[in-house]
Amino acid sequence: MATISERELAATLDHAILKPELTRDQVDAELDIAAEWGVFSVCVRPSDIAHAASRLAGTGVAVGTVIGFPHGTTSTAAKVAEVRQALADGATEVDMVVNIGALRSGFDDVVTDDIRAVVEAASGHITKVILETAYLDDEQIARGSRLTEAGGAHFVKTSTGFAGGGATVEHVRLMRANVGPAVQVKASGGVRSYADALAMIAAGATRLGTSGSAVILGEARRVDAGEGATGAVDDSSY
């Protein structure tokens, strides 16, 4: 498998800061990690957006957040309101959770309309749709990917990391195969090492969600230096 430089890999990472129990000091420590390693973005809890945007100002690290998280069962109107507030607070990307029950029920119009409303509320900002693949079979993952594209979103994403399962190479490949070139794939949940990151990218992911950015990029740095990668991180929550 081809290697990827630290800088190239950092440009794919959304550093997750989503655990509900995190204190402000813990959030700040994670924001500083994101800035130190130069990741593409952080993905923070909605209540942390304004603080994160202020702390990261001038670092080049974007601020994203989650919508309808983690279950996707809030109403479309509530998701739209969340998006509008998130943008007002300084978010530049949103990761929405699909209406999982509607997807499993075959209510494709409900799913598509929910996605489209969030995309429209985001007003051109990057919108990612989390399918929560741990709850879905292959047919539902493939159909959810196609509905993501029909709703106008920019990314289809594997997981919240809070459902007892995360990204797999097989699911990333399945998602990639069911969307056109205009839609990208984000792998999140269980991306714990440099090797995991390489595998997800090889399967078709162009963005990775992880709380283990420092470990993964530390491994990439060692590879760049010809030392090899050895570490892993407990990233079971994202």
Residue 153 inside a domain? The answer is yes
Q: For residue 172, what is the domain's CATH number?
A: 3.20.20.70
Q: Region 101-108: what's the mean pLDDT?
A: 98
> Is the model's pLDDT at 229 over the cut of 80?
no
Span 55-67, pLDDT tens digits: 999 999 999 999 9
* Calpha distance 43→52 (Å, rounded): 10
Residue of 14, 48, 95, 235 with catalytic role: 95
pTM equals: 0.94
* Calpha distance 200→191 (Å, rounded): 8
Q: Is 95 noted as a catalytic residue in this protein?
A: yes
Span 216-226, pLDDT tens digits: 999 999 999 99
* Calpha distance 213→236 (Å, rounded): 13
Residue of 79, 186, 196, 235 with catalytic role: 186
Residue of 114, 157, 196, 235 with catalytic role: 157
Please give the pLDDT value at position 141: 98
Model confidence band, residue 165 (pLDDT cutoffs 50, 70, 90): confident
For residue 13, how far is the Cα from the chain centroid?
Answer: 9
Residue 148 inside a domain? The answer is yes
Residue 131 inside a domain? The answer is yes
Domain count, the chain: 1
For residue 191, give its domain range. 7-224
* Calpha distance 141→66 (Å, rounded): 20
Residue 233 inside a domain? The answer is no
Percent of the chain predicted with pLDDT > 70: 95
Residue 2 inside a domain? The answer is no
